[in-house]
A and B are shown apart, each in its own frame.
Chain A
Amino acid sequence: MSPELEIVLIGVVTAVAAALPGTYLVLRRTALVSDAISHAILPGIVVAFFFTHDLNSPLLLVAAAATGVLAVVLIEALIRSRLVPEDASIGLVFPALFSIGVILISRYAGGVHLDTDSVLLGELAFAPFDRLVLNGVDLGPRALWTMGAILILNLVVIGLAWKELKLATVDASLAALLGFSPALIHYSLMTMVSITAVGAFDAVGSILVVALMIAPPATAYLLVDRFAPMLWLGAIVAAASAVLGYGVAFLLDVSIAGSMAGACGLFFLIAFLFAPRRGLLAQGRRRAVQRLDLGVRMLVVHLLHHQDTEAAEEECGLPRLHHHLKWSVGRTQQVVREAERRTLVERSGELLRATDTGRRLAEAAVTGEFLILNSASCKNRGPKLV
């Protein structure tokens, strides 16, 4: 395998491994916890390194993951104290742990591979140099094995606890009532996030772990409305970001991890704008349609009120109509055209009149059928998450 291919492969495996637990974080509205964990693992790595003097020791992974979970425990303890708001608790805990890690590195580990640049940005470009060699046989880059193992672990946990993770995310109190401890599920998920963050940390650094965990699931959330497709689509977007990111980094000779995170952001932006139902443009179009529809109904009701009265000429005549409805001339013309197109109103000279179809619509609007209209307008509710 060429080093280039190895880098892309490590990137893809890392991105997919991160996107899977990230999907739960996005849906549980705890996306920022990934930020906290990915920073808080640093002191764990450093302290474990003091004891093992080996950056490849599995103990490093365990210690770092434990620090990640510790960060979550501390954050939740702060929240429970009710002395600090929730987001502030996150902002208090992880810089504290991260700074301990940075200080320890600068004081004691100046000479080794652990330097502050690689902590933030990772060093994917050098990953192929660190080989896993067993009995003299080169098995490939060590990072690929580590991240591969973490990816499999995540798949196994999600596959096994599929319904438990889903239940605790949708309704934690039902989970508790049915005997599935939400706390146990929560901390299992946090352990999974921590282990993934530690593994990905080496490849892409602590900041970009967050991009890989959050952006691909958030992108998928805008595109599908079932859970399993969201999970897989998030993984696919993550993998595509890794490939595209590497391509860009190669062409422009820039940071690989930075380009991968940039690609994640790009995919999200595209979905944010152009997602067929939840995207910004689709929502804008829908609002315009709803506004027009409401206008048509208001027009018909207005006409029915006045058309057979003495004031009909004043109230239902085209020249004064916009004045009575308190609409602009442009909007009035637009609504009248639409109402005529739907044969809800008809025109004789300057005078508008609601047709029988229009009368039925207006009657439906003021009797019980408003329920159906209501549910139709609820149908395409936009995303609340991102």
Chain B
Amino acid sequence: MQDAGSGWALEVEDLTVAYADQPVLWDVDLQVPAGVKMAIIGPNGAGKSTLVKAAMGLVRPVAGEVRIFGRPRESARGQIAYVPQRATLSWDFPTDVLDVVTMGTYGRLGWFHRSGAVQRQLAEAALEQVGMTAFLRRPIAELSGGQQQRVLLGRALVQDAPINILDEPFQGVDAPTERAIIGVLDGLAEEGKTIIVVHHDLQTVPEYFDSVLLLNVRAIDSGPVSEVFTEENLRLTFGGRVGVLETREIEV
């Protein structure tokens, strides 16, 4: 499936997304090499979630193009597995952990085909990877925040996609879950999969990731952590906004 010629797992070109007339992303260019573990960091409202949603076609851009392994996004279905923010899912739906993770297999099944024993085994294997084997039959309404996050990760794993995008997976989870998620991501990286994580904790960027995108409506810089994750760049990403806040306060 992968186009060896391009070398980029994900390419974003001149991407602009606006809600009404308010640009959330402004002319963003990004090239993600296959096999990296990339963090997307930036202040609140920088457009981090919007960028990954636009990359997957969940948000419609005003302008720009997204290519996945060198092909237009529209013709590259099944290449991206997504771990959304927890609130995306209706956790009060009456079903259990195994069923939610099995939903990750629906894409391969296509319309109207029901899931069966094969899909169940895939889901069980994914749940084992995220340490949730003991909770297969637990109703999803009864899960803690960390368990919910593990379920969403399991649902992404079962899709077995070459690109995995996670939106704030460490938000509000306990320390063991954070370690478990990192373990799973490292495993995916060893398989040569590309990992893109919307992240908010600057401290852990060098430890968890090898590349980084600094985003604040515009793409400030992206590349290997060792080159791009500099004080200068962080000030460009976060500092500007602080300045705006200060002037507003003075006006008030």
Nearest chain B residue, comparing its CB with the CB of A29: B90
B90→A173 contact, CB < 8 A: no
Tell yes or no: B219 within 8 A of A by CB: no
Q: Please indicate the chain A residues that have their CB under 8 angstroms from the CB of B182 in the complex.
A: none
- From the candidates B84, B92, B107, B141, name the one contacting A173 in the complex (CB within 8 A): B84
B80→A170 contact, CB < 8 A: no
Known pairs A179-B77, A227-B95; A163 contacts B139 (CB<8 A): no
Q: How many A-B residue pairs have CB under 8 A?
A: 92
Tell yes or no: B58 within 8 A of A by CB: yes
Q: Which of B111-119, B193-201, B244-252 contacts A (4 or more CB under 8 A)?
A: B111-119
B143→A378 contact, CB < 8 A: yes
Tell yes or no: B100 within 8 A of A by CB: yes
B82→A174 contact, CB < 8 A: yes
Q: Please indicate the chain B residues that have their CB under 8 angstroms from the CB of A167 in the complex.
A: 103, 106
Tell yes or no: B96 within 8 A of A by CB: yes
Tell yes or no: B56 within 8 A of A by CB: yes
Tell yes or no: A252 within 8 A of B by CB: no
Nearest chain B residue, comparing its CB with the CB of A172: B88
A378 to B57, CA, bound (A): 35
Interface size for B (C-beta < 8 A) is: 39
Shortest Cβ distance from residue B231 to the other chain A in the assembled complex, whole angstroms: 36
Nearest chain A residue, comparing its CB with the CB of B144: A375
Chain A positions 154 through 179: 1 when the CB is less than 8 Å from some CB of chain B, otherwise 0: 00000011111011011101101111
- From the candidates B104, B109, B142, B174, name the one contacting A381 in the complex (CB within 8 A): B142
B93→A381 contact, CB < 8 A: no
Q: Please indicate the chain A residues that have their CB under 8 angstroms from the CB of B77 in the complex.
A: 178-179
A380→B94 contact, CB < 8 A: no
Known pairs A163-B115, A174-B103, A177-B56; A383 contacts B92 (CB<8 A): yes
Tell yes or no: A309 within 8 A of B by CB: no
Shortest Cβ distance from residue A357 to the other chain B in the assembled complex, whole angstroms: 26
A170→B139 contact, CB < 8 A: no
Tell yes or no: B147 within 8 A of A by CB: yes
Nearest chain B residue, comparing its CB with the CB of A229: B94
Shortest Cβ distance from residue A277 to the other chain B in the assembled complex, whole angstroms: 10
B residues contacting A by CB (< 8 A) are 20, 56-58, 77-78, 80, 82, 84, 88-90, 92-96, 99-100, 103-104, 106-107, 109-112, 114-115, 139, 141-144, 146-147, 155, 174, 176
A residues contacting B by CB (< 8 A) are 27, 82, 160-164, 166-167, 169-171, 173-174, 176-180, 221, 224-227, 229-230, 371, 374-375, 378-381, 383-385
Q: Could you show 21 A-B contacts with beta carbons less than 8 Å apart? A: A82-B20, A161-B112, A163-B109, A164-B112, A170-B95, A170-B103, A173-B82, A174-B104, A174-B155, A176-B57, A178-B77, A178-B107, A179-B77, A180-B106, A226-B94, A227-B94, A227-B99, A230-B94, A371-B176, A375-B143, A378-B142
Q: A27-B94, A171-B103 are in contact. List 15 more A-B contacts (CB 8 A).
A: A164-B106, A164-B112, A167-B106, A170-B89, A174-B84, A176-B58, A177-B58, A178-B106, A179-B77, A226-B95, A371-B174, A378-B142, A379-B142, A381-B142, A384-B92
Chain A to chain B: the 6 pairs with minimum beta-carbon distance, closest first: A178-B107, A225-B139, A375-B144, A170-B93, A171-B89, A384-B92
